[in-house]
Structure 1
Amino acid sequence: MTPESAEPAPRPHRHRIAPPGVPAGSLGRPRLDRLLSELFETYSVVEIVAAPGSGKTVQAQLYAAASGLPLAWLTLDKSDVSASALVFDLASALGDLAEGAAATMLNTLQGNGTPDEAAAILASTLGEHDCLLVIDDCHHIAGSADAASAVDTFLEYIAEPVRVLLLARDELPWPLQKRYVHGRIAQLGDATLNLSKQEVAAFVESSGAGPESVQPIFEQTGGWAAGVAFASRFGVGEEPNLRDLSTYFGRQVLDPLPEAEQRFLLDTSVTDAVTRDVAVALCGAEGNRLWSGLSARHLPATSRTADAIVCHSLFRTYLLRQLEDTQPERLRELRAAYARYLASVRQFDEATELWLALGDLDEAQRSAVEALPALYSRADWPVVKRWLEALGEDRVLEDPALIGASVRAVHDLRELEPARRLIRRMDREGRLRGAVEHDPGVLAAAAWAMHAHPHEALGLLDKYEGDASADVVRYMIDTTVSTREVSPPDAQGLAFVERGLSWGLFLQGRLGELARMGPADTDGPILNPHVILAAAFRQDTAEVDRMWLRIPPETRDRPHARFIEAMMDLTRENHAGSRENLRLALADSHRSGFSLEPVYETFAGYLLLLTEGAEPAIAQLRPVLDAMSRTGQTAYIEMTQCFLGLAYLRVDRVAEARLMLRDAVASMTRCRRELLLPLAAAGLSEATARTGNDEAAHENAELAYRLASDMGSFWALIQAVRLFPEIRRREAARDRGDTRWSRLVVAPSSDRAADGPHRPDPGTRRFELQPFGRGRDLYVDGVRANVGRTKLLELLACLALHPKGIDRFELQRRLFPDADQRSGGNHFRQVAHKLRLRTGIVLERQGSLVLLSPSLGLVARDVESERLLAEASALPGPERRRRLLDGLAPVEGHYLEGSCLPWVEERRAHLTLVHEEARIELAMLHLELGEPELARAVCEQILESNRYSDPAYRVLADVERAVGSESSALAVYRRASDALSELGLQPGDARRLARGRHRPTGRPPATG
């Protein structure tokens, strides 16, 4: 069995996800209702910490009824010390409010997620529901930091309208306690819950006692709810200590009942809620009749739901003590009977806990084996590990199911070295075969645990027969070590190994397949962060940002998520951010022994090459290569050879560079690991050119270009030509009619800012600056703000170009170049004030810097346009065309029309050049893709704004030749001659085009 095929965890008992009912005679308490309503106006979480019998549970139900809010209820029990069990119990309690959350949480946990991540997903599914969630008996998680952390995460990510009421006997453990420190939770205690004298009087009156009883009851109980309830009903004359209700329970509740009903209450005290089925299981055939009779009595200290009698915790404690003192063997028999009942209704995990508590290891083993599928499904590995330790090594080693559980638990708890020792021992002793035959999914867990030692892992996969998940693990490992091409398996819906599959696709450069692994919906959480790498290496920054926000926040802090964020930064040229994220990933992986640490170190070496030079990069990469050579992880060896070869080439160690790059290219080509192959092949082109072998240099450059085009990303190739510009110049010079290399960078004049504006979380207001044309304005949540004043737009446009801030005096100089410092300061304050009044935007100060708040996330269409146009360089053919069209769409006129500020005019001229370069490329793409009319329209658009654009005339001549005749091409030449002659220029390029120099046939299109 695999986690994917395992049965889902059973729902908690119905009485745990429903209010336990209000005892007969309970009165409303408007004072507390008002107090809770007032607290919920300020806090989303309120906690009531009070002793048993203080009325917490009753008041929560009374408040829910008075508020009219939709109510979700969860009563915790001992099983909720397991964080994953607690999260699923919460999902059950929330019911339709958390529709679809359970399946997503299962995928999270089976995909190596944590209960905290599942809790964050559950909270996010609630949306903006206006409801009340009550979590009762929170004292059960007092000893579980993991469960408390899951609750804390859940509370962190619930939406504002969701009100949460926690009921506990003692203050909650860390990390929930930090909410007290930060004032993020309101707390009520015993003193607040105690009945006032007026409330005691109302209670006494409702019970039929005389008013003379009010003062004695109030004095002796202090307003303690349980004491008031019993004293009002039975009096206080003979009871000196109302804090000890034992005499009341015995004399006033139990003794008046018939003996059969007394025995029924005692026998059923082993459970916290008694249904008809439980009554029959514990009391035999007569249990059904007795249940009906006691249900009708409405006894003190009990309440009734639709299908259960619930004893107050104080009363149940008294009953259990009576059984333990008078009939200890009977108590043991009843607990065993209840454990058998739990197994009969498939609540195997609770049954196992009971058998372990009773010390019956035979029964515990049987029920544990039955419970394992449910525990696997919710990845409840701490519970599995605790059970195995309680059962003992001898029992575990005799049972293939428990051996498999041991392998799964140590693997999924990330106890990697113990996991490897256990797997080697089980394999050596011949026990692993039985475990795999019983549960084929164990093989995938075992091989995954060993994948830092890939040849051992492959040995296990060859030796035993697993399920489909083992095929995925084999693919992941083969992708890193194989010396031949490996094809990905057809594996759908295997959350347990989805990250392994996607990692293999990434190493092979299968970006299209990797992108298709992303979720089909556009709003739900992304549980596998690897899918973002496809968008990152295609330099689709907007998509990367959108997807990153959909990753549960808890997942983003993992070491491998840090690596993915480093790749996001690397592909957007934010080298400082990439290095920092790699540093964090390495620090965390050092502690955990995570097996992808060599990959992190390799990319860290490449970043050193980009930022500090070749020698530091060589010092970083050389030891990594030596270490990888010993493990046989060929894919990582190739990566390291690629980056090391480039570093050698930068310091002109050509022979060493050529050797490294030749080996990397040969191995990557043979194995079809193509992610970095364009970079390695381009580097080898440069190395061979330096040795004088021009033909080999050209062949490698052609290989690099073709592979980048096939992969759908020119990112790696562009990295190479930035390091070694001669590659591009050399290839462009070989054939002037082949424009692929000269057009590798779409808009060479563009300035793609690596540190763009922060993108706000969903739900925050969106500010968008449209600085183009006469319709320039600010849009707030898509609605035009009609700012009007050019100076406000100039201020926003300038700040958008400096997301990290700009010196205040420099900003004043840019906005008011003709004013002195004092006048400029006064003008600036007035403009900032008007900006706040018109838009609500408040400027921030950090020392001498002025900036927009990062949480504001202002999007400036000029910056977005330039970013999109720069990113188009990474894409081939139709995808490049789409990105260019997206980048040019906002350009509806000149930048900040009407402004004469020097920096605006400079920016305007820059953008005009960038947009013309982009339109030239767009026209050429239209022509190559068989769209000559569209190409002509783009050329005419260019010439309308710049009648001297020689490149536009050249493309237009190609268009006319494709759809018209030689005469129409010559007409274009005459237009070019007339225009350029005004500048004293000769239209030589246009004349050559008019004579019909076509690109040689057989060559691939300019962008693949």
Structure 2
Amino acid sequence: MSQDGRTGSRGRRSVIQSKLAVPPLSERLVARPRVSGLLAGIVDAHPLVWVCATAGSGKTTAVVEATAALDRPVAWLTLDDTDAAPGRLLTYLEAALARPVPRASDVAGAALAAGIPHAEAAGLLAEAAEGARLVLVVDELERLADAPEALAVLAAFVRYAPAAMRVVLVSRVDVQLDLGAAGALGRAAAIGEGALAFTEAEAAQALARGGIDTVDPAHAVQVTGGWVTGVLFEAWRSAEHVPGSGGEADPLSGYLASQILGHLEPADRDFLEATSLLDEVTPARAEALGQPGAGDRLVALRARHLPVVWEPGGLRMRCHPRFREYLVERLERRGGEDVRALRCAYGDLLMAERHHEDAAEQFLRVGERERALPAVEAVVEAVVERLDFAVAERLLDEVAPVAPPLGPLTVAELMLAIGGEDYRRGGRLGDRLDAAGERERLARTSSMAAALLAWCYWHLGRDADARAVVAAAEPSPEVDALHYLLRLVDHEGSPVPPEGPALSGGPLDALVRRVNYAHGLVREAGQSPASSWAEAVTTPWRVGSLRASGRTDQALDLYRAHPRAWAPAWMHGIVGPELIIDVGDVAEAREVLLRGREDIRASGSLVFDVLNRLIEARLELRLCHDPDAALAILDAVDADPVGGRYGFLAEQSDTWRGLALLMRSPGAEALTVLERAVERMRASGRIIELPTAAILLAEARWRAGDEDGADAAADLALEAATRHGSNHHLLQALADFPAVVARRLDAEAGADSRWHELGRALMAEGVAIDLPARTTIRLAEFGTARIEVDGHEVRPRIAKSVALLAYLAAAPGHAADRDRLLDALFGGRSDESTRAYLRQAVHRLREVLPEGVGPCLDGSQVRFDAEVDLRSESDELTGRLREAARLQGEEQLAAILDALAIAERGEYLPAIPAPWADERRERLVELVGEARVEAAHLAFATGRYRQAEELVEAALAADPFRESAWRLVMRIAGATGDEDRVIAAYRRCRRALGELGTQPSPSTRQLLVALRR
């Protein structure tokens, strides 16, 4: 990691490209159209194909030939033992898929950064290939046989693979994958030993191609069962071979020793053994392993009959996997310094090739910790970022004896401490450095390390140590994040404002997100960081922000799906019980609270411990209605050094104490603590609980006879909720004291205030509110026109009454001048007939409404006689679109789609004959079209190409003359790699514009040229 703390790990993932290459075929290969044709047909017809057979049965060769015969791009991944780490496997799956499907690049990395577990990220990666008719081959699957987490990643990928994709799994052994519907009968197929076995004719061809004329093909097939390697290399001559058993008895080792290596010169044998560490042997790579004259040696070996594949026309050799395994086994038998030197040379080569993780494994395998240290330092943070915590822990443990007290590993260890919620570990590390006089030097050397260490100290209640470490560090975004965290202890003198520092894109964004939540910045807290590690440790905050914004169902879904291994103390000790309390389940809330307390104790976080107890007090108040039990808990919290000293905890304690005192008695004691809580929240900018505290203060002030002060506190609560962007906390507090709403409404002159909306929301939840009575009228205008009055449908006798109501719904104050109505409803006709018809429309509308509501003709104006709550679907549509315009990104897209759902119900006021309705219909069609195009652009920007295409095509169906929409169709086609559709979209655009006598603009033509390059 750089000194400024920006990891950039998602952009610097190093992969071994040879693992992603389709293996070359042997120059001596005998084409077997029987096998390749059979397998190609199976692959083309089935989403999932297993190719399972023993080593040397020709599995890989058959798959290479079969996929080459298909009209599909191929993504290939050859596994090795290190791919058992789920994050590493996911990285390689992404790299393999991105070759034929570039849009899949970084999908998995972005998914991990969104807090999505490895397996679910694999599912999203698979979905990124939607529409691509590719074949993904995963070879040597047996490497994962004992790695359940890696198998879960692969299983998820297969389950979510698009219908057009074909997945081929190649393995020596039967590997169990939980594939669900993807493995259902008819969707999956398998091919094994029998289909791959040589026929007599194929064996004859293969033997002749290999220059072997001393073997009877029929006899070879009979005694080997058609085992490909057994026939080609006469392994059936081995004493261990069981006639007719194919490769299952695997006599290859004995044969390789006696008949292959035994016929080679010692120097050739040594060369093959020494280079067996390499997946691909080239002259340069072999010489890097200390093999002089490697080019000449490869030329000589190319003339021998070996189970290897040569690059056509070159000197690049790949040993058959079983042959390579045998060579490695022989190499290991040498033991001692020879093997150590070779593995170290291989590690140096991997370092030069920037494959640091693989280099570290080679060094560590022979106990070379000192040489492994630079490799581990280079890669461990990337391993943490991909959330392979177990791998990172092992690497750190291996090099710990030789690692310096200060260095890159310190940051990784602190990231693991926080990622694993082991704050004591971070504290111990800091104390060791402090005892050696090195702690402040660490802070000066690395702002990231200083910030992470201070974060651990903060959790341990050691805010003074946290400040000392931060004070020694150089200014940086990471230090700003810690100053922001320390505002939760004491905001006075803080160098960062209440709205917090800007996000840097690094891991400490996780901390900024957490503190954002405490400051009531709910929307900001819910956004996903760019760092996978940051998201893994902040997912609980995303759940909390969903809960705080009232999206309980979404929060609950994310909570239930969250892996228990990630941030368990915070998720299950804090966020989970808060969420279950909102759901109203006392038993589960108490169970989750106590279970999470165990995770908190394991973490060592004194802050989490206090928060957990505060939530327990809330449980006693909100669900158990036991203020005495809550006060006993709060007394203990206030006596706690952390609970009394950390400002944000003291504010919450005062808030819940105020509620308990209000529930227990009407005395002035509640007023004192609530005044203190609200004042501290306003001064510090920590407003997450300000709506609650201010509503409680409004009640306390009213009981004390301060009616004006009560109204001011209620307005403060509303203002804080507005800053949250959610009424959730406000409504919860008002449900405790609904009289606050009723009293506040007395001061409202109109009937459409925010307080009226809150009152209606509470009533919808079953809370009794004394609201002024008025008639509610809802007008459905899209599809079938329909009027509902106080929840019941009514039907005026004439259609003009519906048109009249629609006009009044859109008019200011729901009143309109008679002449304007005549013009709108009758096209400007103003004779006795139309005036009589208007009177009839007014009368027929009045007779379906409650008595005394109206409307009526009052002189030259039509208005209602009483207050009405009149809302129409068209106003709701336009209002939602206005709100959406104030949002950005995912939130804006969701808001637009929510608004468009209204228009999807059908045409505006169908069968209503009125010029005004015709004009409004045209305006709404235009507005909806613009919204669809805007939503399509937003969907396109987030990679949702199918959704973007559906939206823009719907807009063009209504208005084919939107040239900007045609350009978006072209971009979508270009993004999916479909040049034909790019051209087709341009032609459709040209035809549409031709109807207007015009041609596509230069920008559209330039886009066509750019997308075809």
Class of the TM-score when normalised by the shorter of the 2 chains: 0.5 to 0.7
Contact preservation (8 Å) 1:266, 1:320:
yes
SS of the residue corresponding to residue 7 of structure 2 reads: coil
Given candidates 165, 168, 172, the residue that maps to 1:165 is 168
Question: Residue type matched to 1:335 in 2?
Answer: R
Q: 2:487, 2:520 → 1: CA distance?
A: 11
Given candidates 380, 401, 404, the residue that maps to 2:408 is 401
Question: Residue type matched to 1:503 in 2?
Answer: R
Pairs within 5 Å for 1:833-982:
893-894=785-786, 947=846, 971=859
Q: Deviations over 1:837-872 (max 9, x none)?
A: xxxxxxxxxxxxxxxxxxxxxxxxxxxxxxxxx9xx
Given candidates 659, 672, 678, the residue that maps to 2:691 is 678
Given candidates 244, 251, 254, the residue that maps to 1:244 is 251
Given candidates 517, 534, 546, the residue that maps to 1:506 is 517
Q: 2:181, 2:260 → 1: CA distance?
A: 43
Which residue in the other structure is 2:129 paired with? 126
**1:28 matches 2:43:** no
Contact preservation (8 Å) 2:573, 2:599:
no
Which residue in the other structure is 2:711 paired with? 698
Pick closer, same or farther for the CA change 1:646–1:489 going to 2, 3 Å.
closer
SS of the residue corresponding to residue 293 of structure 2 reads: helix
Which residue in the other structure is 2:742 paired with? 729
Q: 2:859, 2:137 → 1: CA distance?
A: 80
Q: TM-score, normalised by structure 2?
A: 0.67
Given candidates 471, 475, 478, the residue that maps to 1:470 is 478
Q: Deviations over 1:799-838 (max 9, x none)?
A: xxxxxxxxxxxxxxxxxxxxxxxxxxxxxxxxxxxxxxxx
Which residue in the other structure is 2:230 paired with? 227
Which residue in the other structure is 2:370 paired with? 362
Which residue in the other structure is 1:342 paired with? 350
Q: Deviations over 1:316-349 (max 9, x none)?
A: 2444455555796544433332222222222222
Q: Displacement, 1:671? A: 1.1
Which residue in the other structure is 2:501 paired with? 490
Contact preservation (8 Å) 2:662, 2:670:
yes
Q: 1:415, 1:173 → 2: CA distance?
A: 34
Q: 2:166, 2:593 → 1: CA distance?
A: 37
**1:67 matches 2:78:** no
Structure 2 residue ranges without an equivalent (≥5): 770-775, 797-803, 826-837, 869-1013
Q: Deviations over 1:1-47 (max 9, x none)?
A: 356335655533222111222222244363575367548856x4444
Q: Deviations over 1:384-425 (max 9, x none)?
A: 3222322343x2355533344433333334444334333333
Contact preservation (8 Å) 2:40, 2:69:
no
Pick closer, same or farther for the CA change 1:481–1:467 going to 2, 3 Å.
same
Q: Displacement, 1:75? A: 1.4
Contact preservation (8 Å) 1:49, 1:169:
yes
Q: Displacement, 1:58? A: 1.9
Pairs within 5 Å for 1:804-843:
none
Contact preservation (8 Å) 1:270, 1:338:
yes
SS of the residue corresponding to residue 132 of structure 2 reads: coil
Contact preservation (8 Å) 1:454, 1:481:
no
**1:662 matches 2:675:** yes
Given candidates 274, 277, 288, the residue that maps to 1:281 is 288
Contact preservation (8 Å) 2:79, 2:140:
yes
Contact preservation (8 Å) 2:50, 2:168:
yes
SS of the residue corresponding to residue 418 of structure 2 reads: helix
Question: Residue type matched to 2:785 in 1?
Answer: G
**1:79 matches 2:82:** yes
Contact preservation (8 Å) 1:536, 1:567:
no
Contact preservation (8 Å) 2:298, 2:315:
no
RMSD over equivalenced CA pairs, Å: 5.5
Question: Residue type matched to 1:697 in 2?
Answer: A
**1:618 matches 2:630:** yes
Which residue in the other structure is 2:466 paired with? 458
SS of the residue corresponding to residue 135 of structure 1 reads: strand
Q: 1:643, 1:923 → 2: CA distance?
A: 46
Q: Displacement, 1:569? A: 7.2
Q: Deviations over 1:416-450 (max 9, x none)?
A: 43343333333333344454445432223323334
Q: 1:458, 1:182 → 2: CA distance?
A: 60
Q: Displacement, 1:695? A: 3.6
Structure 1 residue ranges without an equivalent (≥5): 755-869, 871-883, 909-915, 928-932, 958-967, 981-986, 990-1008
Farther-moved stretch of structure 1 (196-205 vs 632-641): 196-205
Question: Residue type matched to 1:162 in 2?
Answer: M
Q: 2:807, 2:625 → 1: CA distance?
A: 36
Pick closer, same or farther for the CA change 1:369–1:726 going to 2, 3 Å.
closer
SS of the residue corresponding to residue 136 of structure 2 reads: strand
Pick closer, same or farther for the CA change 1:272–1:511 going to 2, 3 Å.
closer
Count of residues in correspondence between the two structures: 811
Pairs within 5 Å for 1:158-237:
158-172=161-175, 190=193, 193-195=196-198, 200=203, 203=206, 213-231=216-234
Pick closer, same or farther for the CA change 1:711–1:251 going to 2, 3 Å.
closer
Pick closer, same or farther for the CA change 1:416–1:422 going to 2, 3 Å.
same
Q: 1:222, 1:562 → 2: CA distance?
A: 58
Q: 1:216, 1:727 → 2: CA distance?
A: 96
Q: Displacement, 1:694? A: 2.6
SS of the residue corresponding to residue 743 of structure 1 reads: helix
Which residue in the other structure is 1:309 paired with? 317
Contact preservation (8 Å) 1:382, 1:409:
no
Q: Displacement, 1:481? A: 2.2
Q: 2:230, 2:651 → 1: CA distance?
A: 76
SS of the residue corresponding to residue 745 of structure 1 reads: helix
Pick closer, same or farther for the CA change 1:953–1:714 going to 2, 3 Å.
farther
Q: 1:551, 1:40 → 2: CA distance?
A: 40
Which residue in the other structure is 2:941 paired with? none
Pick closer, same or farther for the CA change 1:321–1:729 going to 2, 3 Å.
closer
Given candidates 119, 132, 141, the residue that maps to 1:138 is 141
SS of the residue corresponding to residue 162 of structure 2 reads: coil
SS of the residue corresponding to residue 408 of structure 2 reads: helix
Q: Deviations over 1:238-295 (max 9, x none)?
A: 9977943456546654566677655543432232221342033235562234445645
Q: Displacement, 1:104? A: 5.2
Q: 1:337, 1:886 → 2: CA distance?
A: 79
Which residue in the other structure is 1:391 paired with? 399
Q: 1:630, 1:751 → 2: CA distance?
A: 40
Determine what percentage of the aligned residue pairs are the same residue: 22
Pick closer, same or farther for the CA change 1:576–1:195 going to 2, 3 Å.
farther
Q: Displacement, 1:562? A: 7.5
Q: Displacement, 1:686? A: 1.0
**1:689 matches 2:702:** yes
Question: Residue type matched to 1:12 in 2?
Answer: V
SS of the residue corresponding to residue 496 of structure 1 reads: coil
Q: Displacement, 1:383? A: 2.8
Q: 2:735, 2:274 → 1: CA distance?
A: 81
Which residue in the other structure is 1:834 paired with? none
Q: 2:690, 2:844 → 1: CA distance?
A: 41
